[in-house]
A and B are shown apart, each in its own frame.
Chain A
Amino acid sequence: MKTKILIVDDEINILMSLEYLLKRKGYEVYIARNGSEAKALADQHSPDLVLLDIMMPDVDGYAVCDYLKAKENAPKVIFLTAKSKKDDIQKGYDHGADLYLIKPFANKDLLAEIKSLIQS
């Protein structure tokens, strides 16, 4: 059974590129452009892993993370964000994230992290 990954970002270009990259690597990919969409998709498909932006128009990434981690079979969560301050990173982990990656990043680094998170 394919690993399911949900991507949440309001930046359309980033969303599309991530979707293309992960699909090519054989994951089953869902995309959401805001927080509420993300919650709905997560409920519907129960992804194994979520790539989550923080700054979004409606529900922010932290709230989405809380929601996901509160679920029965909580997915792994990787924050993908431009917020680069120490405080931000700490806050990300405080909300239960498994990883915090700062944009921009190398595609292969992201893939490696996803792989190791899924295997663990």
Chain B
Amino acid sequence: MPYIYSLALAVYCTAWTFYGSIGRAAQSGLDFLLIYLGPALMMFLWHPMAKRLFQIKRTQGISSLADFLSARYGKDQNLGFLVALLSLVGILPYISLQIKAISESFSILSGQGEIGEYQVYNDPALYVSLIMFVFTILFGTRYVQSNRPKAGLIGTIAFESLFKLIAFVVVGAIGLSQFAGTEVFSEGLKDFALKKPEMAGGDWFTILLISAFAFFLLPRQFQMGVVENNSEKNLAKATWLFPLYLLIINLFVLPFAVMGTQVFPTADSDFYLLSLSMKYSGPATASLAFLGGLSAASSMIIVSTLALGNMLSTYVLVPRLALKKDRPLSRRILGLRRWAILLILALAYVYYHFFAAQNSLVSIGLVSFVAMSQFAPAFLGGLYWREAKRKAAFWSILSGFVIWFYFLVLPQVAAFAGWDLMQWGILNPEALAATFGLSLLSAATLLSLSLNTIVFVLISLESSASLEEANQATLFVSAPSVSANGLSEGLYRGSAPFPDIRSLLQNFLGRDRAEEVLERYARLNNIDWSTSPTADNRVISFAERLLSEAIGPASAKIMISSVVQREELSRDEVLGILEESQKVLRLNRELSKREEQLRLASEELQHSNRRLQEMTELKDEFLYTVTHELRTPLAAIRMQAELLQDEPEMPAEDRERFVNNIVSDCERLSRLISNVLDLEKFESGSQKLSLSKLSLDGLIRQSVEQLENLALSNGVHLSCEISAALKPTFADADRIQQVLTNLIGNAIKFANPKQGKVWVTAYQLDDDLKVNIHDNGKGIPEADRQLIFDKFYQVRDQTRRKPSGSGLGLAISKNIIAMHKGRIWVDDDFKVGAKISFTLPIYKGESNQKKTEA
């Protein structure tokens, strides 16, 4: 089988090879070889690519290039339509060319003269076309499932390939043996050696490129290389068999080109093989040459027409004329396919009749090559690039064809219609190509493929795929490594009554064929159709594939949808299918989220670091202030103690004064220390209150009594005014007394030194008890009213200090009042002196009080 497959691939070698190569060699030397070098090089890449295509063909039910592109891009009818139509436009001249080759070679062989002298009824080309129609129909339209390998077809094509090879070699060998020694031939060789290649710069690359693409994109090549291939095992051997074939069939091209130019300098160089054979080798050999050419041309015509007819019927005729599920349609589809084939051959004949006479074999062939190359980006992208999109494929193909038409078809149309393109100025295709420094062919190829590729990539990146398309993209791009069936079932969540599926298959495949495949499927999967009234996902996928083989993936999808109750895919399932592509996106989002979290955390850290630093600074400052406050009494104590020590005979009066001072300084020190410890307790929250119901009246009077002496010694008049019906509060008696003593003591100290006065008042204000301590001193500067409750507030104004005191009394008082849910502040409703006020809540019963404490 690998041999047959390789020979079938040789459908690549048409009449063009048989006649045209010699013509081309006669005109421009060795460059004809490029057309074979392209496919030969392509063979090295072909094996892995064909393996993938083989897998896709089988799982997707693909029977043409249009099917392939349509299926890949979301089973799209329109894309298939475009591909079918443009293939027809691109290949039609090429088919005409083959008809021309047969008819002309027949004329030469029979000596009947030049083309164009025939009337239609006696034109051999017409009969050639009719015979081709019959052959094509016999080979190609026996089964409605058009991707079933047709043993008859591939065998025949392989045989024809073998025959044309042998014919060429035999004719070549005989001819060469006849004229090899002649003087004319050696003259010709010298001339040929002197000949400069005509080819424009860059053309060699163009031809190499388009012939490599043509190898798998030409309808007949896709048909033979992919659709008719029945085993992956064929591929390995073909990798070297096919290039070998190309080498052998080209062996005798040069001698005939050399000899032909010498002997028939004015005749059509395309037919040197025939004319030389007739002159040197006799009619028998010439007939063999004719038969070789005939087989080359006919195999091309049959396979191309078959492939085009298939596309045309699937995408143009069937969707418009035959998609009704309630009638047996398998015959009708076959009928339409036959009509399509007839139509193509008729068009080819018409084209030949009006246009083909004036063009050489090779030039028309190359125009078709460039046309088919326009499918390359969408095809290769579809096979290897997951992001490739339907819209991109559609527009890239269309844009490529527009350029192709402009450079390669327009001049022909103009010649036919008698337009003078020279008047177009820069818009004249030839002139435009020349500004790029390219030949018409290279300009057409390079510009169309560039635009095509750019359009393809840009639109692919810009647009998004439907779920169906995304799924197909995954199947195609990951084939054959991913189990294609497993994935495609993912999309067909749904069920259908089995009888509906069965009748659908019967309609499109024919009753017998449908029963046959269903029975085999049942046997392989252990299903009894009579007990399984509902077709599940797998059966539906299977049925769609079978239908796809008959009517193409796009129509199959529509037909299946008409009977399947599809369930909406759940969110999870959609996510699952798209996971691959979304995973990366999610990962990215995750990463940036993490980054943001890290940034926040680091900010948090910096913030708390700053807070910590601030707190450390405050602590340092507090410590510094404490030590500073300790140093002053300590200094006094030390000085006085040293005085006493140094002067044992100090007068008793002085001694007593110093000793008393030392004692009071010591008291001051211990007061300071206990205040610091108190404050520390309050601020750390470790200070506990022992709360009880108590009368503020009693506490105030007690404190005033205690400070009476201090007031007297400072010459301050201390007065007290307490509202009679003062309700009780709930507080720690010792702590509140501490506050009162501190505040009243301060007031006495700050009262006017001359006629000092201090008033203590207490009354009820709403739900609170309010206590005011008011003196007639200098008052507190506006700016300091908030600060005085800070510990050692005077430190903030580093060089000023209150007359006496630890600087902690007010800070401690503030803490105590706050713990009682009260408030302490500097009241400013008096113009004279300072007034400190605080509030305590009224007692409302144990339980309520406890609640507010908590």
Residues of A within 8 A of B (CB): 10-11, 13-14, 16-18, 20-21, 24, 54-58, 60-62, 82-85, 102-108
Q: CA A10 – CA B803 in complex, angstroms?
A: 8
Pick the residue among B646, B661, B794, B798 that contacts A13 (CB under 8 A): B661
Q: Which residues of B contact A82 (CB under 8 A)?
A: 628-629, 631-632, 635
Pick the residue among B627, B639, B799, B803 that contacts A14 (CB under 8 A): B639
Q: Which residues of B contact A106 (CB under 8 A)?
A: 638, 642
Cβ of B665 within 8 Å of any chain A Cβ, yes or no, is: yes
Instruction: Report whether B801 and A55 are in contact in the complex, using a CB–CB cutoff of 8 Å.
Output: yes
Instruction: Report whether A17 and B800 are in contact in the complex, using a CB–CB cutoff of 8 Å.
Output: no
Instruction: Report whether A24 and B647 are in contact in the complex, using a CB–CB cutoff of 8 Å.
Output: yes
Instruction: Report whether B628 and A104 are in contact in the complex, using a CB–CB cutoff of 8 Å.
Output: no
Closest B residue to A53 using CB positions: B632
- Could you pull out 14 A-B pairs where Cβ atoms are within 8 angstroms? A10-B801, A13-B633, A17-B636, A17-B639, A20-B654, A21-B643, A24-B647, A55-B799, A55-B801, A60-B799, A61-B799, A84-B628, A104-B637, A108-B642
Instruction: Report whether B800 and A57 are in contact in the complex, using a CB–CB cutoff of 8 Å.
Output: yes
Distance (whole angstroms) from the CB of A57 to the closest CB of chain B: 6
Instruction: Report whether B661 and A57 are in contact in the complex, using a CB–CB cutoff of 8 Å.
Output: no
Instruction: Report whether A103 and B635 are in contact in the complex, using a CB–CB cutoff of 8 Å.
Output: yes
Q: CA A10 – CA B804 in complex, angstroms?
A: 9
Pick the residue among B631, B658, B665, B802 that contacts A103 (CB under 8 A): B631
Closest B residue to A101 using CB positions: B635
Instruction: Report whether A107 and B658 are in contact in the complex, using a CB–CB cutoff of 8 Å.
Output: no
Q: Which residues of B contact A55 (CB under 8 A)?
A: 794, 798-801
Pick the residue among A20, A57, A84 that contacts B801 (CB under 8 A): A57
Q: CA A69 – CA B639 in complex, angstroms?
A: 28
Ranked 10 nearest A-B pairs via Cβ: A60-B799, A103-B635, A82-B631, A104-B635, A13-B636, A17-B639, A104-B638, A107-B642, A13-B661, A82-B628
Q: Which residues of B contact A14 (CB under 8 A)?
A: 632, 635-636, 639
Cβ of B640 within 8 Å of any chain A Cβ, yes or no, is: yes
Instruction: Report whether B803 and A57 are in contact in the complex, using a CB–CB cutoff of 8 Å.
Output: yes
Closest A residue to B634 using CB positions: A104
Q: CA A57 – CA B661 in complex, angstroms?
A: 22
A-B contact count (CB 8 A): 77
Pick the residue among A56, A103, A107 that contacts B646 (CB under 8 A): A107
Distance (whole angstroms) from the CB of B644 to the closest CB of chain A: 10
Contacts A17-B640, A18-B639, A21-B639 given; indicate if A11 touches B632 (C-beta within 8 A): yes
Q: CA A83 – CA B658 in complex, angstroms?
A: 24
Contacts A11-B636, A107-B643 given; indicate if A17 touches B801 (C-beta within 8 A): no
Distance (whole angstroms) from the CB of B641 to the closest CB of chain A: 10
Distance (whole angstroms) from the CB of B124 to the closest CB of chain A: 117
Pick the residue among A18, A21, A54, A85 that contacts B624 (CB under 8 A): A85
Distance (whole angstroms) from the CB of A56 to the closest CB of chain B: 7
Instruction: Report whether B631 and A104 are in contact in the complex, using a CB–CB cutoff of 8 Å.
Output: yes
Q: CA A37 – CA B448 in complex, angstroms?
A: 104
Closest A residue to B661 using CB positions: A13
Instruction: Report whether B647 and A104 are in contact in the complex, using a CB–CB cutoff of 8 Å.
Output: no
Distance (whole angstroms) from the CB of B794 to the closest CB of chain A: 8
Contacts A17-B658, A84-B631 given; indicate if A62 touches B640 (C-beta within 8 A): no
Closest A residue to B639 using CB positions: A17
Closest A residue to B629 using CB positions: A82
Q: CA A18 – CA B627 in complex, angstroms?
A: 22
- Annotate B319-339 by CB proximity to A: 1 below 8 A, 0 otherwise: 000000000000000000000
Instruction: Report whether A83 and B632 are in contact in the complex, using a CB–CB cutoff of 8 Å.
Output: no
Closest A residue to B638 using CB positions: A104
Q: CA A31 – CA B529 in complex, angstroms?
A: 124
Q: CA A84 – CA B629 in complex, angstroms?
A: 11
Instruction: Report whether B634 and A103 are in contact in the complex, using a CB–CB cutoff of 8 Å.
Output: yes
Q: Which residues of A contact B657 (CB under 8 A)?
A: 16
Closest B residue to A62 using CB positions: B799
Instruction: Report whether B627 and A103 are in contact in the complex, using a CB–CB cutoff of 8 Å.
Output: no
Instruction: Report whether A13 and B640 are in contact in the complex, using a CB–CB cutoff of 8 Å.
Output: yes
Instruction: Report whether A56 and B628 are in contact in the complex, using a CB–CB cutoff of 8 Å.
Output: no
Closest B residue to A58 using CB positions: B800
Q: Which residues of A contact B642 (CB under 8 A)?
A: 106-108
Q: Which residues of B contact A58 (CB under 8 A)?
A: 800
Instruction: Report whether A107 and B639 are in contact in the complex, using a CB–CB cutoff of 8 Å.
Output: yes
Q: Which residues of A contact B665 (CB under 8 A)?
A: 13
Closest A residue to B668 using CB positions: A13
Closest A residue to B647 using CB positions: A24
Q: CA A105 – CA B654 in complex, angstroms?
A: 21
Name B789-832 residues within 8 Å CB distance of A: 794, 798-803
Name B614-671 residues within 8 Å CB distance of A: 624, 627-629, 631-640, 642-643, 646-647, 654, 657-658, 661, 664-665
Q: CA A13 – CA B636 in complex, angstroms?
A: 6
Closest A residue to B665 using CB positions: A13
Contacts A20-B654, A85-B624 given; indicate if A102 touches B636 (C-beta within 8 A): no
- Annotate B187-204 by CB proximity to A: 1 below 8 A, 0 otherwise: 000000000000000000
Distance (whole angstroms) from the CB of B664 to the closest CB of chain A: 8
Q: Which residues of A contact B635 (CB under 8 A)?
A: 14, 82, 103-105
Contacts A17-B658, A20-B654, A57-B803 given; indicate if A102 touches B643 (C-beta within 8 A): no
